[in-house]
Structure formats: structure tokens, C-alpha cells
Structure 1
């Protein structure tokens, strides 16, 4: 049922009534967030809001959301079309709660963003939610990060993506997936509306990268590919380099915490120097690269004016690499907020210091007191914007 945003919402009142009807005690965290939303004067003139009911990052301990709390919350949301985002990260939801969430998703037509990061969902919960998304036509951004859904759970999501026509961003990072890469690659061949895919911590090896690259040769929609924290070596980087020579849609490639070494960096550099003119951001943080590979990447930036963001900290810098990146920053070719290193000198020699910048430094949590600009710490959000209700 649509909600007139000109009328002051009574989310908390509806929540109290729903709890009484269901015979459930109120969850203080949910109650407080709903009260704060009711008191937000801007709610009347905005297109929608996100309810941030995450269980982490509070100044004092909170009672985290449990399975039994979802019934009342779903009842409230069914009458609040102005709620476009729901953040339930770092709570204690299990497969039983997933059943309630799945029913809600099948019936809801307004929610665009759902974050279930680091709950206790397993394979059964993944199946319920994935099947619900076969029918859901509003959700564009889904985070399952950190739920141990396993390979079978990942298969349910791969299957869902062949049927769902609205989901644009899916995060399956750190979900204990090891053997689903081939199935996800097959899904990408069908060219769904997906523009952002996170496959970090998948135990992915070069074979999986090769299958992904083959699929992406036929895909023209994916713009952000996150393969961080896998087992990709120089051969995997070679496959990615070949992909970049032909792909015209990828804007961001995150290879952080793989072992591509100098040969892998050289493969990427060649593609970026001579062929690709669409990639805007590359992360090779902690990729076992030394001066030779880093210098090759710096040369790629000099010849490719589209590549505007690069993150290289955690590798082994020699004097040539330090000089190359210092020159890029000092000349203005590489803007300080678009990289994670800053130049300085010691005894007349160029050195590089780390900056807390990155594609998504606040992937797991956001600081309560900001020191670094949000846009510099989370550059990917501006480069590939999907949902405004984060």
C-alpha cells in the first residue's frame, strides 16, 4: 500500500501495535530507529529513507535483531512504501528469519536495498531469499556478505540471477563459496542487468578467473568486478588482461590481496596502456608486486587518461616505483584522493606513504568520527552508483 510522504509517518506506533498483535516484546534497537525516523522532518519531502538497524558500531551494546523480531518489522514495512532501504547487518538472523524475510520480499514492491551482511544465514536461508527474488521486482542492491551459505547457497543465487530482471548489485563475498564461479560465469553470459558483482574470499583460482573472463566477453552490463582476497596468480591476471583488451563496460576491477606479482601487473599494464579505454579504477593492493610491475602500472596511467584511480599499497616499492608515482601525483595526473599513496622525500629520495583511501575502505563498517573524506575512502560508490539508499 502506498504511503503519502506528506503525512507524518507513525512507524513506531505501527511497530508497537504489531508487537502487541503478535504477542512479541519490542526490540529496543528497532524501536529507537523507528522513533528517529518518525522525528526526521526531512522524511516528508524526500523520495525515501533507509532504516539502519545494523547491530554493530554502536557506542553502547544493543539488543541485536533476532528471527522473532522480523514479523513485527515486516508488518510495519508493508505499510511504509517510503522505506526504500533496510540495513540489518551484523544481527543474529538465522534461516528461520530468512523465511519471514522471503515472504516479505515476495509481497513488497518498494524496497530497493537490503543488507543482511554477517548474520547467521545458511544454505536454507539462501534458498528462501533467492527464490523470493525470482518474483521481487523492486530490489536493486542485495548484500549477503559474510553469511556462510556455502556452494549450494551460492548456486541458488546464480540461478536467481537468470530470472530476476531488476537486481543490479549483488555481494556474495565471504560466503564460504568455492565451486560456484563456473555457474556465476554462465549466468553472466545471459547478460542480466547486474552491474556490480562482489566475489571476494571465494578461494577462486585461475581456472575460475578464466571462466569468468570467457563469460564477460559476451557481457556488456557489468561495470564493477570485485575479485579481492582470492588465489589468483599471474596467469589469472593474464586472462583479465586479455579481457580488458576487448571489454568496454568494466569501470572498476578490484584484485586486492591476490598474488599476481610482476608478470600479472605487466599483463594488466599492457592491456591498459594499449587497448582498454573504459576502466577507471584498479586496485592491486597487497598483490606481491615489486618495483618492475609497479613501474609498468605507472606507465599505463601516463598513457591512459581514462584510468583515474589506482591503489597499490602493500606491495614492494623500489626507488623507480616511488619516483614514478611521486611524479604522477605531483604533476596532477593522479589526484591525491584517487590513490592510496602520498609522496614525500627522505635525504632527497622519493618515498611513498600510505593514505586511508580505497575503492571501499568502509566495506565492513564506517567510522563514527570521519577523518578521511567519504569519497576518498569509498571511491567506488561514486564511480558506479547503483542505489542511493545505502
Structure 2
């Protein structure tokens, strides 16, 4: 065997060709070789030398030799020209291929549009809303690669995508490309400690951020300092929401320090963090550093009486406050008598939520003097405080001094006839009232007529909640009379649920007059969980009224037993009337 494998292969190839053409002459072989090489332009220059070597073995005359040389030279020249031409053709083809490749390659904008289309969203270069999109880790990575093409982006919302947790660094390392970012929402994304660290590092660069919402991420608890320490002094943050994040007392201390670097803060929501109340006194001392605060939500934060005292001290610095929610803090009950010195100074306060705070009769004495001084108050919630109804202090009667009130919620307050009468008298002076919630006050049943004058004047009322009020047929007749006389014309939501004491005759009268409530969108007629009644003859009246209520979208009829034909009629109603009412039966 030859020592040169390449040479062996060439010889074997030549032997194979000779076997395939046993009758061919040497000259034919040369011609075939020449023709074969014409298909390989890169070897075309080697052809003349090969021809020369072959013809050296033949004895031609001088003239033949001369002609042969002329032919060879001509072949060489032609070969060179063909080779150059072919190279140019290849160059053109390569260039054309390159141009096609660039044309076919999608731009950053096209990639972004394709990404959004894949998720069923409309592309928006300023607002990236991907809430509830079931994003995968790959989606987050792809989104990160698109940020360099979104220089105008101002809002990113990735809330309710659990797979974002643990992958956030892939996104945050590119946030410097969107230096106009103002809003970042990451609710319920299962963020990890590593994600919190990544966010902190990113916030050293993202200087325009105004709103940060990290709510419903329980793993943030105990690690908040990893984030807050990264914000630069004087940052532009206006809204910080950390609802239900399992925050600890240590996190509260970190927040207190954080308040020193965010002077522009307007909204602070720490709701449903039961352990942060322990550090509320420390935080309250630093609230003076955010004098422009307009909304403070401390719902279910484990506040105690001393926390309330510290908060009251801070209120003297929060003259711009519009909303104060300290609801569902049961242990502050009894502390209002010593902690309302500065509440009355909140002349801009519009929303005060004190529901389920275990307010005592002593607290009511103080609140009866303070609340009527909040001249701009628009929403007041005192629900689930039994002392509101039994207190001898006339708080409800003094609501007349708050003419801007739009919402009054006194659900489950143990109202008696006297307190209901006081409320009815005060309501005569509340021309802007839109929401009235009297649910779970049994005294309303049979006494709704006390509110007749107020309901006649309540031209703006949109929501009326009378759930579990022991209503009787007479009360429904009163409501029907009001609507037919043109009152309550703007009513949108009516809750009459859990009033099992209403007779079939009462329901029939109500349904007969229901059709005039053209703006009604929600109606609840459900029975108590322990009840079960056959739907009477008034069902046909109800069905006839539904066809004349163009805005109705939800109808609650839980625990009413419907016959098969009646159920069939409900099922066919939407189809026959081209409606989309959700029947909750």
C-alpha cells in the first residue's frame, strides 16, 4: 500500500472510471476529465497543466505542436476568464444571500410584536402589561432580551405569574435599557431572596421609578433591607405597596430608615402584615420625612394601642393625607380616647376606614367629636363595630356636618331604631351619597320607611346593600314605590340577600316593578346558607323584568329551588335575548 493515502484514493478513483468505460481511448478519458472538472470552478486553474502533462506522451508534428500550444494558451486564457467570471457570479450570489438573510432577520420591534402576540396581548411600547399570562422561565428570558428595543417603556406589570420567581435576575440586568421606567408591578410572583437582591442592584440604576408593587410575595419577609438599602437618597418613588409579604418587625425598622430617602412618597400600603405592628412606633417617628404622603394603608397590621398613639403623633406631619385605613386591627379598640389629638387636623382626609377595630363606647365618645370635623370626608367605614349602634353619643346624627360624604358603611353595627332614625335624619343632608351599606342590622326590617325621606333625596345613590336585614314584604313594596316614582334612578347594585323573611307575595310585587331600574347591573336575591325554598310564581315576573334590564350582568339566586322548566328558561334567556347575565343559582 502506498504511503500516501490521498494518492491511493486518486488512483482508485481513476481505476474505477477506467472500469466503467473499458472501450474508451486515452483521449476520451482526458476529455471526460476535462468536462468533469468544468463543474468545479475552484479547480479550473489546474486544467491546463494537466492537459500539458498528458499530451507530452504523444508525438505530434511541429505544426500540430504549434496549433496545440495555441489551443492550450487559448484554453488557459478562457479558463482564467471563466474562472474570474464565475468568482464574480459567486460573489454576487453570496452578496444576494447576505442581503436576503438580513431582510429575513426580524427586527427588535418585530420580535417584540411576535412575543406579545404569542401571549395574546397587544404590543405597547410604553406599557408592558403581562399580568396573568402564565409566563415561563423561557418567556422571562426572552422578554429580557427585548428590553434593549423598548427605550420608551414606562410600565412593567408581571403580576400573578408564579414562574417569575427565581428568574428575575435575567430581567433586572437589562433594566438599564429602560431608564424611563416609572412603574414596576410584581404581585404574587413568588419572588425569592435572590430576586430581592437583584431588584436592589437594579434600583441603583433605575432612577426614574415612581411606583413599586411587590404585594403577595411571602418570601420577602425578613429580607426587605436587601432592597431598601439600595435606593439612593432623594429617589423619586411615590408609591410603595408591600401587601401580605410576611413582613417582620425587622422589616418595619428597615422601612423606617427607608422613609429618610424617599421624600416624595405619596402612597404606602403595608396591609395584611400582622407582625409589622410591633415596629409601628419606630416607623411612625420617621413618617415626618414623607410630608406629602396621601394614602396610608395599615389594614390588618397587628396594631396595638401604643401603635395607635405613635401613629397619631405622626399625623401632625401628614397634613396632605387623603386616605387612612387602620381597619381589622382589633387590639387598638379602647385606644382612640388617647390617640385622636391630631386626627381632627387632617382637613384633606377623604377616606377613613375603621371597620372591625373593636371600637368601644369610650372610643365612640371621642370619634363623635372628631369625625364631624373632617370636612372633606367622602368615605366612612365603621362596619363590624357593635358599639356604633349602642353608643349614646350621636355620631350618626352628626354625619350631617359632612356634606361631601359619598359612601357610608355601617354594616353589622348593632343599630337600633334610635340610631337608624339618627342616620336617616343625617342622610337628608348628604346630597352626594352614592353608597349606603346597612347589611346585618336586623332593625332595618320593617323600619325601612324611616329612610324614605333620605332615599327620595338620594338622587346619586348607586349602591344599596340590605343583606340580612330581616326585610319584610312591606320594605320591598317601599323600594318598588320609590323606583316607580323615579327615585333611585341611578341604582346599579342592589343586595337583598339573606332576607328569608320576605314572602312570595313581597317578591312578586318587587319583581313587577323591577323593570324601571334601567341602570341596575347587579342584583342578589340569594337565601341564607341554611335555607332552601321553592321559587314561587314570582319567577315569571322576574324573567319578564330581566328582558327589560339592559345593564344587568349578575343575578344571585342561591338556594332557591328551581324546577326543571324554570332552570331551562334561565339557560335559554341569554341566548334568546343576546345577553350575558351570570346566573348564580
Query: TM-score, normalised to structure 2's length?
Result: 0.49
Please name the residue that 2:437 is paired with: 340
Matched residue SS, 2:408 = strand
User: How far has the Cα of 1:169 moved from its partner?
Assistant: 1.2
Alignment pair present for 1:52 and 2:150 = no
Distance, in Å, in 2 between the alignment partners of 1:107 and 1:74 is: 10
Alignment pair present for 1:72 and 2:72 = no
Q: Is residue 406–residue 434 contact of structure 2 (8 Å, CA) maintained in 1?
A: no
Q: Is residue 94–residue 125 contact of structure 1 (8 Å, CA) maintained in 2?
A: no
Q: Which of 184, 197, 206 lines up with 1:99 in the alignment?
A: 197
Of structures 1 and 2, the one with the larger relative CO (CA 8 A, separation 6+) is: 1
Distance, in Å, in 2 between the alignment partners of 1:253 and 1:113 is: 23
Matched residue SS, 1:117 = coil
Distance 1:265 1:335, change over 3 A: farther
User: How far has the Cα of 1:119 moved from its partner?
Assistant: 0.8
Matched residue SS, 1:86 = strand
Please name the residue that 1:385 is paired with: none
Matched residue SS, 1:208 = helix
Distance 1:122 1:347, change over 3 A: closer
Distance, in Å, in 2 between the alignment partners of 1:317 and 1:228 is: 20
Which structure 2 residue ranges, 5 or more long, are not aligned? 1-107, 119-134, 452-464, 468-491, 495-520, 524-550, 552-585
User: How far has the Cα of 1:165 moved from its partner?
Assistant: 1.8
Distance 1:304 1:336, change over 3 A: closer
Which structure 1 residue ranges, 5 or more long, are not aligned? 1-6, 17-24, 38-42, 56-61, 358-369, 374-390
Q: Is residue 29–residue 53 contact of structure 1 (8 Å, CA) maintained in 2?
A: no
Matched residue SS, 2:223 = helix
Please name the residue that 1:181 is paired with: 280
Q: Is residue 33–residue 53 contact of structure 1 (8 Å, CA) maintained in 2?
A: no
Distance, in Å, in 2 between the alignment partners of 1:126 and 1:144 is: 10
Distance 1:83 1:253, change over 3 A: same
Distance 1:293 1:339, change over 3 A: farther
Matched residue SS, 2:349 = coil
1:39-70 deviation per Cα after TM superposition (whole angstroms, max 9, x unaligned): xxxx99xx976433221xxxxxx653212x21
Distance 1:74 1:294, change over 3 A: farther
Counterpart mapping for 1:361-380 below 5 A: none
Distance 1:302 1:292, change over 3 A: farther
Query: Is the radius of gyration larger for structure 1 or structure 2?
Result: 2
Alignment pair present for 1:253 and 2:363 = no
User: How far has the Cα of 1:212 moved from its partner?
Assistant: 1.4
Distance, in Å, in 1 between the alignment partners of 2:445 and 2:290 is: 49
Matched residue SS, 1:229 = coil
For the aligned residue pairs, the C-alpha RMSD in angstroms reads: 4.0
1:317-371 deviation per Cα after TM superposition (whole angstroms, max 9, x unaligned): 2123333434555x471645344348976376558715989xxxxxxxxxxxx95
Counterpart mapping for 1:284-363 below 5 A: 284-293=382-391, 296-329=394-427, 331=428, 333=430, 335-341=432-438, 346=446, 350=450, 353-354=466-467
Distance, in Å, in 2 between the alignment partners of 1:106 and 1:9 is: 31
Q: Is residue 268–residue 295 contact of structure 2 (8 Å, CA) maintained in 1?
A: yes
Q: Is residue 142–residue 171 contact of structure 1 (8 Å, CA) maintained in 2?
A: yes
Matched residue SS, 1:296 = coil
Alignment pair present for 1:267 and 2:380 = no
Matched residue SS, 1:194 = coil
Please name the residue that 1:223 is paired with: 322
Distance, in Å, in 1 between the alignment partners of 2:348 and 2:398 is: 19
Distance, in Å, in 2 between the alignment partners of 1:29 and 1:296 is: 59
Q: Which of 233, 240, 244 lines up with 1:146 in the alignment?
A: 244
1:95-132 deviation per Cα after TM superposition (whole angstroms, max 9, x unaligned): 21100111112211233222111113345530012112
- Determine which structure has the larger helix proportion and give its number: 2
Distance 1:27 1:314, change over 3 A: farther
Q: Is residue 207–residue 236 contact of structure 2 (8 Å, CA) maintained in 1?
A: yes
Distance 1:245 1:348, change over 3 A: closer
Query: TM-score, normalised to structure 1's length?
Result: 0.70
Q: Is residue 295–residue 324 contact of structure 1 (8 Å, CA) maintained in 2?
A: no
Distance 1:263 1:334, change over 3 A: farther
Distance 1:11 1:233, change over 3 A: same
Number of equivalent positions? 329
Alignment pair present for 1:27 and 2:137 = yes
Distance, in Å, in 2 between the alignment partners of 1:339 and 1:246 is: 26
Distance, in Å, in 1 between the alignment partners of 2:226 and 2:266 is: 19
Please name the residue that 1:388 is paired with: none
Please name the residue that 1:112 is paired with: 210
